[in-house]
Structure 1
Amino acid sequence: MTLTPQFLDELRARTSLSTLIGRTVKVQKAGREHKACCPFHNEKTPSFTINDEKGFYHCFGCGAHGDAIRWMTDHRGLPFMEAVKELAATAGMDVPAPDPRAAKRAEQAKGLHDVMAAAQDFFVAQLDSIEGAEARAYLNKRGISEATRRAFGFGFAPDSRGKLKTALREFGDPMLIEAGLLIEPDGAEPDGESKRKRESYDRFRGRLMLPIRDIRGRVIAFGGRILGTGEPKYLNSPDTPLFDKGRTLYNIDRASPASRQTGRIIVVEGYMDVIALAQAGFADAVAPLGTALTEHQIERLWKMVEVPILCFDGDSAGQKAAIRAAARALPLLRPGHSLCFATLPAGQDPDDLLRDSGPAAMDAVLDKAQSLVERLWSHEIAAAPLDTPEQKAALKQRLRALSDSIQHPDVRAHYAHEFRERYDALFFARRDSQNAQPRGTGGNSAPRWQRDRRGNWKPPLPPAGTEARAIGVSGLEQRLLSAVLASLLRHPDQIAPHREPLSALRIADPVLSQLLGAMIECSLRKETVETHALLTILGQGEVYNRAKGMLRADTFSLTPHRMTADPGRVARDLEEAVRVMAQGPELEAALVEATRRFEKDFSEENFAEQQRIRALKADHDRRLAELVQPEDGI
């Protein structure tokens, strides 16, 4: 839909900006303008001004600036067209429809919105009636205050097949059925010798009712909780022209503006969790509607914050829901956008935790939220035993499947690298005097390259007390190392992502060692590294000549026919090659140490350990041979 500048100017002119902002922010008259404490950042002295004559607001503290439409998109979190429609409705203007069919759909939606608003009024009135006594008692038992009850629009559906239908009969059965408020039975029932159609009846009966609103605060569906025994415990409206449960989040109309104050959004499992959090001061919570979190809902969350917090129960069902959400998000990941996971104590939901320990306990749970990569890693290492080589290989396969499901090449490469680091740290930790431990357990990192007195980069010394060999002794290792360096010369943007494992390599060939040192030095000095710049730094000499030779088209490099492949594939090939190179000396040293222990003590345990490392070394050697074998078999 294209809106003319004339229409938008007229819309702004008909909108009182101070009145619009004053609906949610306390404003004060200040001469010809209005002022308020800025809603976009925390302040005690008002620096936020509103000029009705010019039609804009401005904050002298944080620089927030805009008109009525900008206020609706930035503060309320509405999409542009939704903001325009809401302002136009208030101003008594009709938004131009692009074609007759769209106009007809808009008219039908308007009618359904009227139906839902009338149904909401009916349910609220019933809650305050004599029939609503049991529902009111339930709310009191749950500790829901009168203010919370009004804010969330609690209502009650009488236990009757036709009370709502009668109250809203002016809209007609077809529209009430389309809105999901009535059920139309299938088939017919006998009536003497003829047949007549069975009567439609109220969908919600004997339930505590909650309105489900869209981003603009309009009622689009309902959720009903049974009072007493019965199934289902919660019943939602069916999908309608207004409501798609896979695209809607409960409480998004209130949580979206709240998230602009807190910079976060909390995703919990159900309605009552959201309401309990809101009553305790956590206004930025939403919930899916009886289904697992969908791709559409994840994208909607990312429009509010880059890293939403998923806070599910600590029981098995809650943790399964968390992993399903993680797997659903992986293909969608992009730079800066992810999920994190807060786990509630076992056996408690947000309401239980808040009742027992107060808001501070909830804050503590949120503060300990795990990143997506941490949650996936912890889930996979706990998913099955890791005692045998086959079980360890299965873990590696599962981790690779997770990273491969990510579509964005840079994010995919970083996840693959992160999983590889954790995997290697878990199973191939260095057995040296520094007693290096896996990441996150307080161990020391691998030795790094250092400069000598002349400023040249030198490889790290071998760990004391080990038999670690330098890279480049055997023909296969030499060939793989040359292939890696050739690929890095062709794709110098890959030096930085692999800098840490590359820096830990010990290289026997002095020319290749100097070449790698120059690459690492260049990547440390510059954010962007180019092949020509690398060659310029090398100057003339043996190292320069070796590098130029590596850049020849006929020089073997990692998967040579992929020299123009996508960056993600290049990153994964390099990561695998660097890992294999780094593992060689480590496995060699581990095997020497295991053999030494076995020769000192011929125990079954020492023999088993020696054989385990032999098997790992054999697997490594096979993988090394595969990497340096051209894929066409030549």
Structure 2
Amino acid sequence: MALPPNFLDELRARTPMPSLVGRRVRLTKSGRNWKGLCPFHNEKSPSFYVYDDSFHCFGCGAHGDAFAFIMRAEGGGFMEAVERLAGEAGLEVPKPSPEAAARERRAKDLHGVLQAAEAAYARRLRSPEGAEGLAYLKRRGLTEETIARFGLGWSGAGRGALLAELREEGIDQRQLIEAGLMQERDEGRVVDLFFNRVMFPIRDRRGRTISFGGRILGDGQPKYVNGPETVLFSKRRNLYGLDLAREGVFRGARLIVAEGYMDVIALHQAGFTGAVAPLGTALTEEQFQALWQVSPEPVLCLDGDAAGQRAAARAAEVAMPLLAPDHTLRFVTLPAGEDPDTLIRQKGARGFQSLLDAAQPLSEAVFGLIVGNKLPEAPEARAALRNRLTGIAGSIPDKALASEFRSDFLNRFFALSRAPGKRAAPRHPRPVADPEAIQAERARILLAICVHQPEILRDAEEPLALLELPEGPARQVRDALLAWIAGAERLDSAELIAHLAQSGMATASQWVLRAAGLPPEARPGAQPKEALDAFWQIYGFLRGEAELAEDARAAQRAFAATNDMAAQNRLIRLTQALDALRRGEVEDAEAT
């Protein structure tokens, strides 16, 4: 039965070799790959190596892809292997048909057509008509070796020249149309797709040419043109340079995702041989899966301009629902106005390596893309940002990983909330005999209420984060509470106390929970309503009158805009705390 090449490539992509082979062979990590005792011959020391998409035994010579492994291990035929792997991958095997057989024959023919076209374009680059294209590549700093390695060429002026040249090799117009090298226009005219362009062969992961991209010289538009979708080529499934990058990563290079052809080529020439690029579109789910088959942590290297930042945000949005504990991303943001090509020419490989070494983890990059380095002043806007961050974290399928991202996002959010200078200082601080001691004791009571009544944190999480607590145990316990609530499945006091002890907070939590000086509302067994009232009363003193008044006004605006019950409750609590603070009716902890 003839199967479409795209289907087989998709099935290979959905079948990780280590997990497939690991069902029969005990594998151990060996660098970026795996090794074990060969299942096909007796051996005492491992010579059987498993890569992302293939296996090879250096003892008996057995090698191949997932289909070959199933056929050798289970003794079945090719179609049996395909059907079994397709079932596990959730793919439906295409039904046999004359059309499928014809499509396979055309695909085999098209590989030959594209290979012949690549050779023709390369010859033209060295001819007098390709002098302008060759000069352009030389001006961009490319060596002869690089030009040959990437198969760069020149399209010529078009007007049927490619057909005339390839016809001598038995290639006709129909094949060039199917290969995406010619196209039909109005009135039945057939013209070359590429003319007067530097040509970039696009290859699949196995190194076979499947399409081309072309760059026009001068001011013509569009600057870059990619071949159309064909039997062999899909923009959303392929990456430029992936065949060479696989080899580079295997030899220890970082997998880098740049934006364009010339970026990839410049990176490879500078020694960064793991570089790839999407094909004129934003990164897709299929491309992310292809990247993770090569490396568990690709680095996205995007231009530092506004368009590059938008591309980074889109890439992160696509990637988050695909994340797993064993594969993620890092981000490099280039200086404004720079791309890898220009940066390497100006600062050399060492300058780019320094940026690569400083690549941001995904959580840090996403937070920066969404929030930046400053929170908005309006509580409504801050709440919207928090909701967006937690929503993004919630899109991650793995619950533990989602919880870690949510905690990281909120920790960064609250750190910005507490940044010096974000809020004005209280305008009318109350005179106190020993301000530091009183504030520390109030903070201790407030935290004790939170530990014994953690359900309070549902509505008080952000207000608690805004408090400027004293350095030491008070701030340590507060930060631990905020981190705990981000991932807690239920708000239970005993579980919280145990968590604090296990997190290195035993001494600090003992200081908070010591019975001496705690009012009844802050002790175990307090009535929830009394504890909640006490929380907001003490919160008023710790926050300060000016700040509390500002919080109340913001809550009033939020309630007017949303008519939400939670917003109403917050407004009531803040108003009560502000009234109590102004009347001086809060119980002073220092008097107990």
**Residue deviations 1:201-220 (CA, integer Å, cap 9, x gap):** 21111111110000111000
Q: CA-to-partner distance for each residue in 1:10-46, whole Å, 9 max, x for gaps?
A: xxxxxxxxxxxxxxxxxxxxxxxxxxxxxx769xxxx
Q: In structure 2, the residue corresponding to 1:373 is in which secondary structure?
A: helix
3-state DSSP of counterpart to 1:342: strand
2:386, 2:342 → 1: CA distance? 38
The alignment of Structure 1 onto Structure 2 pairs a total of residues equal to 452
Which of residues 541, 546, 549 in structure 2 aligns to 1:611? Answer: 549
Instruction: Check 1:521–1:263 CA distance in 2 against 1; reply closer, same or farther (3 A cut).
Output: farther
Contact 1:471 1:585 in 2 (8 A): no
Q: Does the residue aligned with 2:55 lie in a helix, a strand or coil?
A: helix
Judge conservation of contact 2:154–2:198 (CA < 8 Å) in 1.
Answer: yes
Is 1:469 the counterpart of 2:442 in the alignment? Answer: no
CA distance in 1, matches of 2:31, 2:385: 46
Distance 1:402 1:84 in 2: 39
Q: 1:116 aligns with which of 114, 117, 125?
A: 114
Distance in 2 (CA, whole Å) between partners of 1:104 and 1:462 is 85
What is the distance in 2 between the residues matched to 1:583 and 1:131? 82
Distance 1:230 1:246, change over 3 A: same
Which of 103, 122, 125 is matched with 2:123 structurally? Answer: 125
**Partner in structure 1 of residue 66 of structure 2:** 80
Distance 1:589 1:382, change over 3 A: farther
Q: For the residues of structure 2 that align with 1:83 and 1:137, how far apart are their CA atoms? A: 48
Answer yes or no: is the 8 Å Cα contact 1:472–1:481 preserved in 2. Answer: no
Following the alignment from structure 1 to structure 2, what is the Cα–Cα distance between the partners of residues 584 and 251?
63
Cα deviation, residue 175, structure 1? 1.7
Distance in 2 of aligned mates of 1:415 and 1:329: 13
Question: Is 1:592 the equivalent of 2:592?
Answer: no
Per the alignment, residue 175 of structure 2 pairs with: 175
What secondary structure is seen at the aligned counterpart in 2 of 1:262?
coil
Q: Which has the higher helix share?
A: 2
Task: Quote the offset at 1:626 in angstroms.
Answer: 7.7
Distance 2:102 2:480 in 1: 61
* Structure 2 equivalent of residue 500 of structure 1: 480
Counterpart in the other structure of 2:528:
none
The worse-fitting range, judged by mean Cα deviation, of 376-385 and 131-140 is: 376-385
5 Å-filtered alignment, 1:78-477, equals 80-81=66-67, 99=96, 102-169=100-167, 170-186=170-186, 188=187, 198-262=188-252, 264-382=254-372, 386-427=376-417, 464=440, 466-470=442-446
Distance across 2 between alignment mates of 1:504 and 1:410: 13
Deviations 1:110-162 (A, max 9, x none): 01111111111111111111211111111111111000011000111111210
Residues 596-632 of structure 1: CA deviation (Å, up to 9, x unaligned): xx5xxxxxxx4xx2312445799999749989xxxxx
Distance in 2, matches of 1:248 and 1:466, equals 61
CA displacement, residues 470-528 of structure 1 (integer Å, 9 cap, x when unaligned): 46769x984837999xxxxxxxxxxxxx99328999xxxxxx8667534655799xxxx
Q: Partner amino acid for 2:351? A: A
Using the TM superposition, give the Cα deviation of residue 368 of structure 1 relative to its aligned residue in structure 2, in angstroms.
Answer: 1.1
Separation in structure 1 between the aligned mates of residue 201 and residue 269 of structure 2, nearest angstrom = 17
- Taking the aligned partners of 1:57 and 1:229, their CA distance within structure 2 comes to 65
| 2:455 equivalent among 456, 480, 503 | 480
Residue in 2 aligned with 1:70? 55
Q: Distance in 2 between matches of 1:617 and 1:204?
A: 61
Gapped regions of structure 2 (runs ≥ 5):
3-29, 72-76, 83-95, 422-436, 460-477, 486-491, 505-523, 526-530, 571-592
How far does residue 261 in structure 1 lie from its aligned partner after superposition? 2.3
- 1:391–1:521 Cα change, 3 Å: closer
Native 8 Å contact 2:155 2:197 kept in 1: yes
SS, match of residue 230 in structure 2? coil
> Matches of 1:159 and 1:176 in 2, distance apart?
16
Q: Distance in 2 between matches of 1:72 and 1:111?
A: 32
CA distance in 2 between partners of 1:367 and 1:380 (Å):
23
How much does 1:407 deviate?
3.1
Change (3 A) 1:231 1:134: same
Closer, same or farther in 2 for the Cα pair 1:160/1:584, shift >3 Å? Answer: farther
Report how far residue 425 of structure 1 moved: 2.9
Structure 2 counterpart of 1:517: 497
- The worse-fitting range, judged by mean Cα deviation, of 334-343 and 609-618 is 609-618
**Distance in 1 separating the partners of 2:280 and 2:118:** 21
Question: 8 Å contact 2:442–2:538 — kept in the other structure?
Answer: yes
1:471–1:478 CA contact under 8 A, matched in 2: no
Deviation (angstroms), 1:468 = 4.7
Q: Any conservation in 2 of the 1:248–1:297 contact (CA below 8 Å)? A: yes
**What amino acid does structure 2 have at the position aligned with 1:173?**
Q
User: Structure 2 CA distance, aligned partners of 1:390 and 1:501?
Assistant: 23
Deviations 1:228-248 (A, max 9, x none): 231111111001000001110
TM-score, normalised via structure 2 length: 0.65
Whether contact under 8 Å (2:446, 2:535) holds in the other structure is no
For 1:261, the aligned partner's letter is: R
Q: Deviations over 1:395-443 (max 9, x none)?
A: 2232233223333322222222222222233325799xxxxxxxxxxxx
Match of 1:577 in 2: none
Q: CA deviation at 1:370?
A: 1.1
Q: In 2 relative to 1, CA 314–179 (structure 1 residues): closer, same or farther, beyond 3 Å?
A: same
Instruction: Give the drift of 1:321.
Output: 0.7
Separation (CA, whole Å) in 2 of partners of 1:466 and 1:472: 10
Q: Runs of 5+ in structure 1 lacking a partner?
A: 3-39, 43-47, 86-93, 189-197, 432-460, 485-497, 506-511, 525-546, 550-581, 599-605, 628-634
Q: CA RMSD in A?
A: 4.9
1:219 is matched by which residue type in structure 2?
T
Pick closer, same or farther for the CA change 1:199–1:467 going to 2, 3 Å: closer
Q: Match of 2:202, SS?
A: strand
CA contact (8 A) 2:49 2:56 kept: no
Distance change >3 Å, CA 590–CA 363, structure 1 → 2: farther
Q: How many angstroms apart in 2 are the aligned matches of 1:131 and 1:584? A: 85
Aligned-partner SS, 1:288 = coil
The structural deviation recorded for 1:223 is 0.7
CA 613–625 in structure 1, closer or farther in 2 if over 3 Å, else same: closer
C-alpha spacing 1:100/1:622, structure 2 compared with 1 (3 Å): closer
Distance 1:483 1:384 in 2: 24
Which residue type is aligned with residue 228 of structure 2? P
Q: Quick check: 1:468–1:586 contact (8 Å CA) kept in 2?
A: no
